[in-house]
Structure 1
Amino acid sequence: MINQQQLWDEDAAQHYDTPEEGMFAAEVLGPTVEVLAELAGGGPAVEFAIGTGRVAIPLSAAGVKVSGIELSHAMIARLRKKVHEDQIPVVQGDMTEAMAGENFSLGFLVFNTISNLLTQDEQVRCFQNAARHLAPGGRFVIELWVPQLRSLPPGHGGTVEVSQPGYLLVDTYDVLRQHVVSHHVRFAPDLSEGRDARIGRTPHRYIWPSELDLMARLAGFDLEFRWADWDRSEFTEDSRSHVSVYRLSAR
């Protein structure tokens, strides 16, 4: 049994934020916040796995009342260095069962984080918990990558997903359990600066879009939109990720 609290410890929280780079870059955060603010429709929002506040803080600054759920004590502590609990209240707990309130207009779970839940049952319970948080007609937004099994060479169990100066991402697959372990290797781009590397690993359970839709239906949601990215571009068979917007039945 993998202990998620140990995975997302003080060291992970310390290295999570990359201001103005990667997922913290303005060209990534800007469209994300714009779409979420529009989908909230002036109502309150709750972020599942709020982390260090990457999305919640700018969304709050855009005028949306945001609450959160987060399992990691270390992530919450880092968030609290940025904003007070009066501005963004957070409940510490598992996103499959912790309650941050009711009658939210919007719930969201971004940057592949639903895959941190390593069983199908847990992922279904996450949708059910989202339904408990939302008002009738409320929306639940999932951002998730599409597993690239077509690029997995025969007889090989892994793929190189990112290769750039100072960083290498290798994913290894267990296709029977739909599990992926992401190996993050960080190093000095020039060997003259040293040959040591820092390696971190994170486990995931990947979900096909059709499986995700079924999970949503079991919890009372219908798919409203699916885009390839936050720019609302068309989702196609070649898309590497998707933003899926589900709407809770008004019944």
Structure 2
Amino acid sequence: MTTTLGNALYDQKLASVYDRMYPIGHDTEQAVAFVAALTPPGGSVLELGVGTGRIAVPLAGHGFTVHGIDGSEPMLAELRARDPQGTVTTRLGDFTREGTGRTFDTVTLVLNTFFVAVTKEQQVGCLRLAREQLAPGGRFVLEAFDPAPYHHMEKPDHSMRHLDERSIMLDTLTVDRSQQLMLSTHTIIDGGAPETREHLLRYAFPFEIDLLAELSGLRLVERTEDWAGTPYTSSSLRHVSVYEADPDSPWGGCR
């Protein structure tokens, strides 16, 4: 299957270290609790860009019916290894262009995954599909970083991540402000030949996401700084935004 998100897909190498790239267990627990509180008991959840199931699998453990869509087969393989009982129903596909054909009480898009859609058209497509897959009274939850600190970068940023006792990842980040694009280069050093992967993101400021959401038939319900409910302020470095379908929107049925 082809996908417009090819630049952002995780291959086998990155999928195998993904959870070590983002060791955020405490944040995961808060995210699961946040989504669970939004969803009716025994309700249904769809995660766009479900990845390795960091959030989806625990949600299924809370008794929700959980579906996930992702464009990377290696990431879905990691999810299946984490979920041998198959409590999460998965689908390989591009969440900016195709839906599941059903509706859910809650739809989620977390950990900056919205930005892997690198054009305005892809981002609008993602939001419109999120709205179409919301059951009446449902909520769409989007988590992303606030790009303000990156938007003013004038030279590449270099950093290192410790993956385990035998491997590290070297990261280089460059920003094209004119197009709001971020290019991340990841080089894994683990004793073998160094392997480098590139990912392109198109960042958007919160008010831009709100406008795209409005054009997609969604309206903002609440925004916090994190999953713990910290108030969102001008100094917040990320946001958790909750949207609902706007029944009065002239754009909701447009494709």
TM range (shorter): 0.7 to 0.9
Return the alpha-carbon distance in structure 2 between the equivalents of residues 9 and 76 of structure 1. Answer: 11
Return the alpha-carbon distance in structure 1 between the equivalents of residues 8 and 223 of structure 2. Answer: 33
> Residues 41, 23 of structure 1: CA spacing in aligned structure 2 closer, same or farther, 3 A cutoff?
farther
> Residues 219, 53 of structure 1: CA spacing in aligned structure 2 closer, same or farther, 3 A cutoff?
same
Q: Could you tell me which residue of structure 1 aligns to residue 253 of structure 2?
A: none
* Contact 1:229 1:243 (C-alpha < 8 Å) held by counterparts: yes
Q: Does residue 170 of the first structure (1) align with residue 167 of the second (2)?
A: no
* Contact 1:157 1:174 (C-alpha < 8 Å) held by counterparts: no
TM-score by length of 1: 0.84
Q: Could you tell me which residue of structure 2 aligns to residue 212 of structure 1?
A: 209
Return the alpha-carbon distance in structure 1 between the equivalents of residues 150 and 181 of structure 2. Answer: 16
Cα deviation for residue 5 of structure 1 reads 7.1
> Residues 247, 28 of structure 1: CA spacing in aligned structure 2 closer, same or farther, 3 A cutoff?
same
Is the partner of 1:69 in helix, strand or coil? strand
How many pairs align? Answer: 240
Q: Does residue 226 of the first structure (1) align with residue 255 of the second (2)?
A: no
Q: Could you tell me which residue of structure 2 aligns to residue 34 of structure 1?
A: 33
* Contact 2:156 2:175 (C-alpha < 8 Å) held by counterparts: yes
Q: Could you tell me which residue of structure 2 aligns to residue 87 of structure 1?
A: 87
Return the alpha-carbon distance in structure 2 between the equivalents of residues 159 and 180 of structure 1. Answer: 11
Is the partner of 1:59 in helix, strand or coil? helix
Is the partner of 2:232 in helix, strand or coil? coil
> Residues 6, 109 of structure 1: CA spacing in aligned structure 2 closer, same or farther, 3 A cutoff?
closer
Return the alpha-carbon distance in structure 2 between the equivalents of residues 176 and 150 of structure 1. Answer: 13
Cα deviation for residue 124 of structure 1 reads 0.5
> Residues 16, 216 of structure 1: CA spacing in aligned structure 2 closer, same or farther, 3 A cutoff?
same
Return the alpha-carbon distance in structure 2 between the equivalents of residues 107 and 126 of structure 1. Answer: 11
> Residues 206, 16 of structure 1: CA spacing in aligned structure 2 closer, same or farther, 3 A cutoff?
same
Query: 1:107-186 to 2 correspondence within 5 Å?
Result: 107-149=107-149, 152=152, 156-160=154-158, 162=159, 166=168, 168-185=170-187
> Residues 187, 238 of structure 1: CA spacing in aligned structure 2 closer, same or farther, 3 A cutoff?
farther
Return the alpha-carbon distance in structure 2 between the equivalents of residues 3 and 242 of structure 1. Answer: 23
Q: Could you tell me which residue of structure 2 aligns to residue 191 of structure 1?
A: none
Q: Which amino acid aligns with 2:208?
A: E
Q: Which amino acid aligns with 2:116?
A: N
Q: 1:8 aligns with which of 7, 10, 13?
A: 10
Cα deviation for residue 226 of structure 1 reads 0.7
Cα deviation for residue 152 of structure 1 reads 3.3
* Contact 1:171 1:182 (C-alpha < 8 Å) held by counterparts: yes
Worse overlay, 76-85 or 237-246? 76-85
Deviations 1:46-75 (A, max 9, x none): 000111111101111122211011111221
* Contact 1:131 1:219 (C-alpha < 8 Å) held by counterparts: yes
